[in-house]
Amino acid sequence: MIKSILLSVDGSSYTDAVVDAGIYLAKSLNCHVKVLSVIDVRPQDWQASVGSESIVPIIPTVVGSEENQDERQSLIDKTLATLEAKLRAKQVDYSIETINGLPVECICDHARVVDLVIMGIRGEYHIWHSNMIGSTLGPVSRQLERPFLVVGEKFEPFGHVLIAYDGSPAAAKALTMAGYIASSLGLKCTLLVLNAKEDDAGDLIREGRDYLKKYEIECSCVFDSGSAAKKICEYSKDSQINLVIMGAYGHSRIYEILWGSTTEEVMKHAEIPVLLVK
């Protein structure tokens, strides 16, 4: 059950989508929304974006550190004033907090007492690394124990969810979340069973379908093999599907070094919101 949602906002072009997603879920699930904005305390003249790909593009500073900090504070103040007006207009139960600190640490700390976190796929410096996930989202997504929803620059209400399932513990938790979300929002579902042996695929399809049947959900099932990330992204491009729900970081770090992270590949390349569950 989701009763509290944390929205991480930074004034970037992804902020509106984060808030729109929060409002949509808050109204649908009767939730409290907490908007959190973290003013990064690191000096802006050395701030870099360290992505999961270990690429470190230095982000140039246009003005001095103090002036830049004041400019960012002004931007956040204007952004939060606009967001507060929107939340009031939608009659959502909300609170807003702005703090100075390290974004990853602050977001993870506040996430301990909520049920869901919503973030944009990239942040305020996305123009410098448009093909990577955000430098804050990467480490936050690994450290968070809560479910988290990743959105792009625009948000649309959900209608059809793609559930990635391989029988793993993380996938089983994602299946539980999918049942709750789909039944609460009245969504159609497609269960995508991945990377199972063909002899086992039927058992996994029945397992997932029987579980979702308890929620009285309209669900179609399909089996596919190959790269899990590639297949999830391919199926997510179906024009009717507008949400992916999947388990997050189910492989070891050694596996990810050798073969890459399915979670990060889906976050980067899926063109619709992705709800990740651990």
Q: How far is CA 168 from the centre of its chain?
A: 20
From 122, 151, 180, the end of a domain falls on 151
Share of the chain above pLDDT 70, in %: 82
Q: Indicate if the pLDDT at residue 45 is higher than 60.
A: no
Three-class secondary structure of residue 168 per DSSP: coil
Alpha carbon distance 157, 242 (integer Å):
8
From 131, 151, 171, the end of a domain falls on 151
Residue range(s) defining the domain that contains residue 174: 160-277
For residues 246 and 273, the answer to whether their CB atoms sit within 8 Å is no
Residues 179 and 251 in one domain: yes
Compute how many other C-beta atoms are within 10 angstroms of the C-beta atom of residue 42. Answer: 12
Residue 72: which of 42, 40, 106 has the closest Cα? Answer: 40
Lowest mean pLDDT among 56-60, 73-77, 85-89, 182-186: 56-60
Q: Which of 41-45, 67-71, 141-145, 155-159 shows the highest mean pLDDT? A: 155-159
The structural domain count of the chain equals 2
Residues 171 and 121 in one domain: no
Residues 147 and 165 in one domain: no
Lowest mean pLDDT among 90-94, 129-133, 213-217, 237-241: 129-133
Residues 116 and 59 in one domain: yes
Q: Indicate if the pLDDT at residue 154 is higher than 80.
A: yes
Residues 82 and 119 in one domain: yes
For residues 94 and 32, the answer to whether their CB atoms sit within 8 Å is yes
Alpha carbon distance 266, 252 (integer Å):
17
In this prediction, residue 190 carries a pLDDT of: 96
Alpha carbon distance 264, 261 (integer Å):
5
In this prediction, residue 258 carries a pLDDT of: 35
From 151, 169, 194, the end of a domain falls on 151
Residue 49: which of 41, 39, 57 has the closest Cα? Answer: 57
Alpha carbon distance 173, 163 (integer Å):
11
Would you give the DSSP letter of residue 64? -
Residue 275: which of 169, 121, 140, 149 has the closest Cα? Answer: 149
Residues 20 and 135 in one domain: yes
Q: Which of 54-68, 194-208, 216-230, 249-263 shows the highest mean pLDDT? A: 216-230
Beta-strand runs (E) in 47-200:
93-101, 116-120, 148-151, 160-165, 188-194
Residues 13 and 90 in one domain: yes
Residues 8 and 120 in one domain: yes
Residues 24 and 137 in one domain: yes
Residues 135 and 170 in one domain: no
Query: What DSSP string runs through 173-232?
Result: HHHHHHHHHHHHHT-EEEEEEES--HHHHHHHHHHHHHHHHTTT--EEEEEE-S-HHHHH
